[in-house]
Amino acid sequence: MTWNEISFRKRMLIIMTFSGLVELLILALAGFSYIRHQQEEDMGQKALRVAKFLSESPAVIEMIRQEDTSQQQYYRDLTYMIGAAFIVIGNRQGIRLVHPLNQRIGLPMVGGDNQQALREGRSYISFAHGSLGRSVRGKSAVVDASGHIIGVVSVGYLIERLQDRVEPYLHYLLIIVVLVVIVNGLISGYISRRFQKAILGFEPEEIGRLYGELDVTMSTLKEGILSIDEKGYLRSINRSACKILGIDKSKALNRLLTDSLHDSNLYTLLETGRTDSDIELYLNHQWLIANRSPIVVDGRVVGAVASFRLRDEINDLTEQLSQTKAYAELLRSQTHEHRNKLNTISGLVQMGELEAVQQLIGQETEHYQALIEFLRGAIKDPLIAGMLLGKSERARELSLELRVEEGTKLDALPEHLHAEDVVTILGNLIDNAFEAVLTSVRQIKHIAYERRIIDVSISDYGNEIILEVDDQGCGLPDGVSVDILTERGVSSKSHQGRGVGLFLVQQLTDRYHGQLDMFDKKGNGTRMTVYLPKEPLI
């Protein structure tokens, strides 16, 4: 039977029991080593104290001076009383005067650890292999009354005897290890059953296969899909979402979604718990249609998931087609008008009326040239200036007049404010003004000429950029609030497909933390004002 064929519960039991056993064995060996080391230290200190006591004894000093070897039995009895392995006393040359074995008396001391005592007069603990075996020793120099080093005292305990004293501790530790392993096995079995229940009884290989299938499925979807956990961390994202949002999956996964997608407010679903269907979002400089829903487990919101796609391409194509038709109609009318003027100029040339030709051409170019020079000096952004010039020509074709106020001034836009968005805001306000004035013209046939003027003002004095469009149209509809007019699909016109202009204006204004004001002049038109902060608000 292979490892993968063993059930998950048994694998968990084996792994946890084996890991616990290894940990306990390491702990037991560490404890044994500590106890052994501690015993050696204790015996070394005990040997050192006895050695220092004997080295200071007058009897020992006198015995070394006389090189007396007749006190062997006394020191052997003392050795037995203190539980040591040996007491060895040597003279200045390291020759044994006292030793547990008679045949080794008079021979040099073994171990090579007497130098510090005989040369430097120190007392210390050493580990060495002597004639009786490896031992821990306490050594102390013997100094006479005149301060001369005359010998050394060595008291030792054999390491192998210390081993006998430590073994009971090892047996105790091994018994504890066995008991803990048994308890660990019981606990491991219980935990593995609970854990497998939490994963619905799936085996690890089944979970891996399901995850692989889900990953492939999400990768093949054209819609972008991502999910966050209850703390707002990105937990999953498919290939389409990465492409649409411009996100690097390896850098964004398991990090806060707002770190990679600053404008996202998906985390609000964690608090509200509501479901959003087919809402429009502006993310990564493009419009998306999204569906968002919280993830609820046992009545608690533990995350949120969002699926989205780029705004319907058919709507974009339809809008482009409508614009193309409008521009084609504009070009047709301009071509017709210029053809008539060219015919007039041709007739005047043939009649020799050159002054009249110059006057006609001057009249045609004077207004546009003045407007171009004015816009070039007042508006530093060419995209906005070009839009105003185009809208002026459009107003002329509609028998209206677009008048840019003399005080208009706009320097270079701040980095956070995009010219395309300003064009969208101002262009939609002007288009709405055209519609309002034309509606008023249709309702009042003999309208005064001055009521066909649309005034546009742009200023960037102070901390805000102010866009204002003032018309002499029909005003705001009765009974409709400003908040309702800025909703998508709501319009004061009855034509299908309306209700997008003010919605876009409001959405872009909110994005820059600006403000949209509408003032109804009660039958004398409407003044629309947008305030855009120059500094980004955090």
| Radius of gyration of the chain, Cα coordinates, nearest whole angstrom | 49
Distance from CA of residue 245 to its chain's centroid?
17
For the stretch 69-78, pLDDT in tens is: 888 888 888 8
Which pLDDT belongs to residue 500?
A: 52
Helix 313-351 with 382-397: angle, nearest 10 deg: 70
Whose tokens are 């491991």? That residue is: 188
For the stretch 457-472, pLDDT in tens is: 999 888 899 999 998 8
Which pLDDT belongs to residue 493?
A: 46
Rounded Cα distance, 132 and 118, in Å: 21
What is the dihedral sign for C-alpha 205, 207, 211, 217?
positive
pTM higher than the cut 0.85: no
Listing DSSP states for 341-366 in one string gives HHHHHHHHHHHT-HHHHHHHHHHHHH
- Are the beta carbons of 430 and 456 closer than 8 angstroms? yes
The total of other beta-carbon atoms located within 10 Å of residue 509's CB is 19
Which pLDDT belongs to residue 165?
A: 65
Strand partners, 289: 280, 309
Which pLDDT belongs to residue 159?
A: 76
Residues of the chain whose pLDDT is less than 70? 1-6, 8-9, 131, 162-167, 170, 198, 200-201, 312-341, 357, 362-368, 442-451, 477-501, 523, 537-538
Which pLDDT belongs to residue 498?
A: 37
221-311: what CATH class? alpha beta
> Is 10-158 assigned to CATH 3.30.450.20?
yes
Rounded Cα distance, 401 and 49, in Å: 114
Nearest to 192 by CA among 204, 180, 181: 204
The amino acid at 127: F
Whose tokens are 């519960």? That residue is: 9
For the stretch 369-383, pLDDT in tens is: 777 888 888 888 888
Which pLDDT belongs to residue 365?
A: 66
Dihedral, CA of residue 143, residue 145, residue 150 and residue 152, to nearest 10: -30
> Is 371-533 assigned to CATH 3.50.30.50?
no
Rounded Cα distance, 454 and 456, in Å: 7
